[in-house]
């Protein structure tokens, strides 16, 4: 394995803008590859299997768990599992790529623990829970039950922001993107 490659871990409460930030910043770095997570949830509009996620059945997911195939995995919401396949990660690292993970808080902490100093963990924080609620409603993907679940989970996740190497508050998307780009350039330039 190429030990000069590094790991970047992005996490945030759902709706904080991490996907929007990554969509703008990731293309600026040719040597960073996105780790595609596995999930048992259904694809959202526009999501493509094996590009945005590996959409698999609950049975397939449980088989991967039994075989210890995940770096991390979690039942994020009742009946909905997410996980990071070791095979996906090591394939990218072996190609000499830095690997970027977009995972929930628990998964991010597990990956950071696994890769230690080789990893940089970044927490994208919403300006407030009220703003987060507004963004989730505008996204149009939540019903009242899932909206409340995501807000409750966000409160807990925000309390853990201090456990991450860097915290970026996404008040305004352009500024957050500039800050993330600078953080990545600094991290990747270190030996």
Q: What is the pLDDT of residue 123?
A: 96
Whether residue 102 contacts residue 34, with contact meaning beta carbons closer than 8 Å, is answered with yes
E-assigned strand segments in the chain: 7-11, 32-34, 38-39, 54-55, 70-77, 80-85, 98-102, 119-125, 166-169
For residue 36, what pLDDT band results from cuts at 50, 70 and 90? very high
Confidence of residue 104 (pLDDT cuts 50, 70, 90): confident
Residue 2 confidence (pLDDT) above 70: no
| 3-state SS string for 43-57 | CCCCCCECCCEEECC
In this prediction, what percent of the chain has a pLDDT beyond 70?
98
Question: At a CB cut-off of 8 Å and minimum separation 6, what does 188 contact?
Answer: 6, 29, 31, 32, 98
Beta bridge partners of 77: 80
Three-class SS of residue 37?
A: coil
d(CA 161, CA 165): 9
Beta bridge mates, 49: 53
Question: What predicted TM-score, i.e. pTM, was given to this entire model?
Answer: 0.84
Number of neighbours of residue 90 by Cβ within 10 angstroms: 13
Strand partners, 39: 55, 82
Sign of CA dihedral 53, 165, 146, 46: negative
Instruction: Please give the Cα distance from 80 to 101 (Å, whole number).
Output: 19
Query: pLDDT category, 17, cuts 50, 70, 90?
Result: confident
**Mean pLDDT over residues 4-29, rounded?**
92
Pick from 182, 164, 72: nearest CA to 122: 164
Bridge-based pairing state of the strands 38-39 and 98-102: unpaired
Q: Going from the N-terminus, what domains does the chain have, and what CATH number goes with each?
A: 7-189 (3.40.50.300)
């Amino acid at each position: 394995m190429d030990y000069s490659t590094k790991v970047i871990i992005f996490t945030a409460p759902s709706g904080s803008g991490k996907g929007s930030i990554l969509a703008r910043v990731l293309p600026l770095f040719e040597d960073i590859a996105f780790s595609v997570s596995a999930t048992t949830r259904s694809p959202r509009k526009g999501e493509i299997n094996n590009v945005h996620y590996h959409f698999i059945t609950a049975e397939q997911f449980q088989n991967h768990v039994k075989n210890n195939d995940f770096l991390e995995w979690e039942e994020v919401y009742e009946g909905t599992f997410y996980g990071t396949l070791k095979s996906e990660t090591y394939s990218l690292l072996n190609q000499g790529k830095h690997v970027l993970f977009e995972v929930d808080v628990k998964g991010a902490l597990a990956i950071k623990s696994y890769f230690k100093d080789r990893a940089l963990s970044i927490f994208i924080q919403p300006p407030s829970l009220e703003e987060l609620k507004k963004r989730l409603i505008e996204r149009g993907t939540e019903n009242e039950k899932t909206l409340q679940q995501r807000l409750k989970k966000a409160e807990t996740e925000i309390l853990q922001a201090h456990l991450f190497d860097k915290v970026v508050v996404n008040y305004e998307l352009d500024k957050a993107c500039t800050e993330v780009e600078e953080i990545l350039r600094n991290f990747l330039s270190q030996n």
